[in-house]
Amino acid sequence: MKIGIPREVKTREYRVGMIPSGVEQLRASGHEVYIQKGAGEKSGFDDADYREAGAIVLESAKEIYDQCEMIIKVKEPQPEEYDLLRPAQILFTYLHLAPVPDLTRVLQEKQVIAIAYETLQEENRLPLLDPMSQIAGEVAPLVASYFLSAHTQGSGVLISGATGVAPAKVLIIGSGTVAKSAAKVAAGMGADVLIMGRNRSAMSNLEETLPENISTIYSNRYTLEKILPTVDIVIGAVYITGERAPKLITKEMLSLFKKGSIIVDVSIDQGGCIETSRPTTHEEPVFEMDGVLHYCVANIPGSYPLTSTQALANATVKYAKRIADLGWREAVKQDDAIYSGVNVAGGFVTNAPVAKTHGIAYHELRDIIDQCPLYEVHS
């Protein structure tokens, strides 16, 4: 199979979909790998590294999309990439389709085989979401601490406090990987950390494994409204596989916050768990509403590409190789994890939460797989 790695075009997205060791693995199985010039530079890998591993370096994204049956990316296609997609082409990347109806429609119209990292499940785990959830969670307290400073219009509270002065209070909403990672770093910075969730088993595990300056509390609206006036930082860390994130903090609740406090909505990829959140970029990461700063960058790990690229690529290559070795049809028949990752195929939406969110008919993949067009080889 011909596999293509284009350069990411999302604002300040410095990761790349594959590292040279992944190229070597695919080449050893007889596949051809094409990468766009300069795609790996910000992740610490230059074109010579990829050539040495056996990749063919091409100048433009169009060449990559025109020649390759499978495209491996990091972030969802941006509008300027829509026209590059081709029928029956495999797209393996983060998609987060629930809040993006236009992209869902394009993938249908183009009859792309769209396999999403974030819905691929194996033994009740999300093996391709977890590495980036860990990094996003670890970064969240760092950026929150920075934007609490007075020169960024924050409250001027130092997250660690000082001798005789109480530390910042951090509320983390959620109890998964993002929450655990955020709590670990926030606690390590000296903050007073409270995790609010509904999964009692997960919260019990967090209490047993995390430092003593972390406590947990069961999530409900009444308790949330009582806590919000006491916190300096809120980290939204809610993820329901494939679905839009529920709006747990409403616009009206902003009046409960301290002025100059900050929200870091890590759930923004799935629409955000704060009603007032909207996607921001690394160029303009925050906005203020009702005296509360909102940090809603949709690609937080993209700022740390030397770490995050390797963590992601090491996780994805096994599945990419299986898809390439077997072809996507046989791969989904043999591998339930890959099956669960397919969101759109042959013009059909095959992920139930995405279909429900957009009011589109849902089709079980196994029922429509034979209706999907075959990929046409172009010379």
Instruction: Kindly state whether residues 188 and 280 are assigned to the same domain.
Output: yes
User: 292 and 315 share a domain?
Assistant: no
Backbone Cα Rg of the chain: 21
Domain identity same for 9 and 70: yes
- Residue 286 domain flag: yes
Count how many domains the chain has. Answer: 2
Q: What is the dihedral of CA 242, 243, 245, 247, to 10 degrees?
A: 180
Cβ contact 234:261 at 8 Å: yes
Residue 201 confidence (pLDDT): 87
Are 59 and 158 members of one domain? no
Catalytic-labelled residue, pool 192, 265, 269, 363: 269
Q: Is 358 a catalytic residue?
A: no
- Between strands 113-116 and 90-93, the pairing is parallel
Of 303, 324, 357, at which residue does a domain stop? Answer: 303
379 lies in a domain?
A: no
Query: Does 55 share its domain with 115?
Result: yes
Shared-domain flag, residues 261 and 315 = no
Q: Is residue 70 part of a domain?
A: yes
Contacts 24+ apart (CB under 8 A), 184-190: 184/137, 184/138, 184/210, 184/211, 185/137, 185/138, 185/140, 185/141, 185/142, 186/141, 186/159, 186/233, 186/235, 187/211, 187/213, 187/214, 189/141, 189/145, 189/159, 189/160, 190/159, 190/160, 190/161
Which pair of tokens denotes residue 357? 């969110």
Q: Is 377 part of any domain? A: no
378 in a domain, yes or no?
no
Q: Are residues 144 and 275 in the same domain?
A: yes
State the pLDDT at residue 186: 97
- Look at residue 313 in the predicted model and tell me its pLDDT: 98
Q: What is the CATH number of the domain that holds 140?
A: 3.40.50.720
Residue whose structure tokens are 């610490």: 44
Q: Is residue 204 part of a domain?
A: yes
8 within a domain of the structure (yes/no): yes
* Domain ranges, residue 140: 130-303
**Domain identity same for 263 and 273:** yes
Interatomic CA distance for residues 20 and 29, integer angstroms: 15
What pLDDT does residue 378 have? 63
Note whether 15 and 86 are same-domain residues. yes
Spell out the long-range contacts of 115-118 with Cβ–Cβ below 8 A and sequence spacing 24 or more: 115/90, 115/91, 115/323, 115/328, 115/338, 115/341, 115/342, 115/343, 116/242, 116/341, 116/342, 116/343, 116/351, 117/92, 117/93, 117/312, 117/316, 117/341, 118/94, 118/241, 118/242, 118/269
pLDDT at residue 210 in the model: 86
Residue 227 forms part of a structural domain: yes
60, 172: one domain: no
C-alpha angle 47/3/12, rounded to 5°? Answer: 55
Residues 139 and 288 in one domain: yes
Greatest extent of the chain over all pairs of C-alpha atoms, in Å: 71
Cβ 19 vs Cβ 90: under 8 Å = no
SS (H, E, C) 144-170: HHHHCCHHHCCCCCCCCCECCECCCEE
The answer to whether the CB of 259 falls within 8 A of the CB of 155 is yes
101 & 148 share domain: no
Domain end call among 303, 334, 353: 303
Q: Give me the pLDDT at residue 204, please.
A: 87
Residues of the chain scoring pLDDT < 70: 378-379
**From the candidates 31, 96, 294, 363, which is the catalytic residue?**
96
Average pLDDT over the chain, rounded to whole? 96
- What angle do the packed helices 130-147 and 177-188 form, to 10 degrees? 40
CA distances to 161, 237, 250, 318 from 119, rounded to whole Å, are: 39, 16, 27, 16
Give the ranges where the chain is alpha helix by DSSP (H).
Answer: 20-28, 47-53, 61-67, 101-110, 130-147, 177-188, 200-209, 221-227, 305-326, 328-334, 336-341, 352-358, 365-368
What the block records as the tokens of 121 is 């499940």
Side chain identity at residue 3, one-letter code = I
Active site residue 96: yes
- Tokens describing residue 320: 């990419």
**Of the residues 269, 303, 337, which one is the last residue of a structural domain?**
303
pLDDT number for residue 377: 72
